[in-house]
Structures are given as C-alpha cells and as structure tokens.
Chains A and B, each alone.
Chain A
Amino acid sequence: AQSVTQPDIHITVSEGASLELRCNYSYGATPYLFWYVQSPGQGLQLLLKYFSGDTLVQGIKGFEAEFKRSQSSFNLRKPSVHWSDAAEYFCAVVGNTGTASKLTFGTGTRLQVTL
C-alpha cells in the first residue's frame, strides 16, 4: 500500500529565508505526487503535482518541488518565504494504477513565518 511521511510537524522560518518541506513516499512504481496548502479553517488548495517527465516541478505562489526516485522524496521548496505562506502543507500520493479516490495524504507540516 502507498504511504506518505512528512517528518517535520512544525517548521518556523524568517520572512525572506528559504524553505524546504520534506516528503517521503512509499510506493512500488512511479507514483503521482501532490503538494496541497491549507490556511486555518479552510479547505486545501493544490500547489503543484508530479506525474512524469521533468523531475523539477513548478507550482503556484513561487513554490517548486523535486522528485527524487532514488530517495523516494518529493520535497517542496521556496527561495524566499513571505508571511502569507504561513499555513499547513500536505504531501499526497496516488499509485499510477489507482484513481483520484485513492489519494493518500501525509500528516502535514505547519509552517510559521516570523517577521
């Protein structure tokens, strides 16, 4: 069965600093990978997704993620964090023989941004 691990429960960065949120997945073949963001008391918004091809994926709000098969990772990065990026971030995976209903989410990383 597929699974996702987000090892960092909570991260604090200063505004303007770079950011990297970690995501490790477990799946036997090439997975479909996603990053979603959730503001407090709200639903989730898709930041970016990886299916195949270029392993560096660009998303909205200046975020990018890199798929590394050898490390089973799909880490999310941003060169310079803005205070409005404070939110909870979820990595998600679905196997390439599944459907959208088979999406598995990680437990999330809460990002705090200090001014």
Chain B
Amino acid sequence: DGGITQSPKYLFRKEGQNVTLSCEQNLNHDAMYWYRQDPGQGLRLIYYSQIVNDFQKGDIAEGYSVSREKKESFPLTVTSAQKNPTAFYLCASSPRGQLGEKLFFGSGTQLSVL
C-alpha cells in the first residue's frame, strides 16, 4: 500500500544532541512537509519542499534542518539549537504542492528530551 512512513515512533534526545527524524513516502509526490504539533497549538509548518534538492523555511524553522536528496525522502534534523524540541512531529506530502491539494500525513514521531 502507498503511504508515508515516519520513524521512529518515539525518540529521546539528550541535551546538546542532534537527532534525525525519518520520513519516507512511496506516493510519488513532489511536495513534502514537516509540521510540529504542540498541545493546544495545532500544527505549525517547519520546512517544506516542492521538488528534489530544494526546500523552504516554514513558520518555525529555527533550530531545525532538512534535506531532500531523493523524491521519496525528507528527513528532519532537530539540532541542539532547538531549545524546546519536545513535541509531536508530523510529516506530510502532496502531489505537486499546489493550491488546494490534499495533504497525506504520516503517523508521527513523538520527540522528548531526557
């Protein structure tokens, strides 16, 4: 079945450590997104990519980095510069990143700080 796979489901980060969240899709979608979800704050866009080897900052990009070397993969690195990383992270994709397209979401990664 086609879909989006996020791994791991749960991740723990130590102080000063970088961690990378994986997102893979086999939907042949051009556009991919990373959202952060905090209780009571809805979803906020971190980064998005509309084509391989190109990505753009979203509303809360500070302390995060991404890469898009392959169409099907869009990993997110939470760097030590992100002082409050504990959150639920959702990856999504859409066919072309065009207006009104439906977003397909992965099942998320819960990141916690030790």
Contact = CB atoms under 8 A, between A and B. Distances in A.
A97 B100 CA distance: 10
B97 A100 contact: yes
B31 interface: yes
Interface in A18-71: 32, 36, 41-46, 49, 51
- Chain A, interface residues (CB within 8 Å), range: 20 to 34
Interface string B82-114: 000000001010100111111101111010000
B63 interface: no
Interface footprint category on B = 20 to 34
Contacts of B108: 41-43
B41 to A, nearest CB: 6
B103 A44 contact: yes
B74 to A, nearest CB: 13
A90 interface: yes
Contact of B107 (A41, A94, A106): A41
Contacts of B58: 101
B31 to A, nearest CB: 6
A62 B16 CA distance: 48
A105 to B, nearest CB: 4
